[in-house]
Amino acid sequence: MRRAFAVVCLLFAITPKAFADLSIAAASDLRPALEQILQAWNASHPDSQASATYGSSGRFATQIRNGAPFDLYMSADITYPRALQEEGLTDGEPRTYALGRLVLWSRSPFPERINELANTEGRIAIARPEHAPYGARAREALVNLDIWNAVEPRLVYGESISHTAQMAQSGAAEFALLALSLVGAPNQQAPGHWQRIPVGLHSPLEQALVVTLHGAGKHQADQLADYLLGPEAAAVLVDFGFERPPVPGGIAGQR
């Protein structure tokens, strides 16, 4: 009997925990919506609590390459998780959970034509294009408007889109190109004015999630990924200004 008990204990010790907390690397545009989503998840999964760390998608991709212990990765640009998959650093393919929207924020009412930004004198905040998807799309839009050269000397850069929003709201910039999810949700009380930037001015902000190698084999990580792609999470994301992806694998339909 003692020998049998010892064997059972040994098997339990060398197998993964039946229940485990889950860690998410999440694009910073997700913070308001994802905190609400995870609150609902955690309430119904007391043995598999999930928490998120927020930052720029590109920096998270680098951290995951260097062994950061994230179970899931929610990027603002599907390009980053696709690259990790090609490098063998994910458990499966990335799946689209939403489309992000870029907006022009201003401290005071702004003319309808966004290209008039070139005729202003204030500083303009964008996220760093090198590692922040919203910054890359902001640069793309300004180039396509043919005003990049005119406004570049007045640009100030945030390390992530949420940092960029903080800069603008603190007075460090009079204008900013931000995520709609950070300024346009019903319960967001950010001062200032905003308008959507036409989607034709930049590549889509196709946002995708993937289970990392660190999360591979964790049943709860797969469950959480499915939950984040499901109808309850989709409803919250739409409330916070995200759009439904028109492709299979994420939320069905286009808002």
In tens, the pLDDT along 170-228 reads: 999 999 999 999 987 655 555 788 999 999 999 999 999 999 999 999 999 999 999 99
Q: Is residue 17 pLDDT above 90, yes or no?
A: no
Compute the distance between CA of residue 124 and CA of residue 109 in angstroms, rounded to an integer.
15
Q: Strand, helix or coil at 185?
A: coil
Compute the distance between CA of residue 83 and CA of residue 94 in angstroms, rounded to an integer.
10
Is residue 147 a known part of a binding site? no
**Which structural domain range is residue 154 located in?**
102-201
CATH number, domain containing residue 132: 3.40.190.10
What is the structure's pLDDT at 111?
65
Question: 251 lies in a domain?
Answer: no
Question: 14 lies in a domain?
Answer: yes
Name the domain boundary from 201, 226, 247.
201
Question: 254 lies in a domain?
Answer: no
In tens, the pLDDT along 149-174 reads: 999 999 999 999 999 999 998 999 99
Say if residue 115 is in the same domain as residue 189.
yes
In tens, the pLDDT along 123-139 reads: 999 999 999 999 999 99
Say if residue 150 is in the same domain as residue 223.
no
Query: HSE of 218 in the Cβ direction (CA atoms, 13 Å)?
Result: 27
Is residue 106 a known part of a binding site? no
Say if residue 42 is in the same domain as residue 28.
yes
Q: What is the mean pLDDT of the chain?
A: 88
Total-model pTM:
0.87
Say if residue 19 is in the same domain as residue 72.
yes
Q: Strand, helix or coil at 82?
A: helix
> Within 10 Å of residue 193's Cβ, how many Cβ atoms?
13
Report how far apart, in Å, the C-alpha atoms of 118 and of each of 14, 26, 49, 106, 200 are.
62, 33, 47, 14, 19
Say if residue 183 is in the same domain as residue 65.
no
More confident residue, 104 or 11: 104
Question: 246 lies in a domain?
Answer: no
Number of structural domains (the chain) is: 2
Q: Is residue 19 pLDDT above 60, yes or no?
A: no
Kindly write down the DSSP assignment for every residue of 208-237, as one continuous string.
EEEEBGGGTT-HHHHHHHHHHTSHHHHHHH
Q: For the chain, how many helices (H) and strands (E)?
A: 10, 10
Question: 177 lies in a domain?
Answer: yes
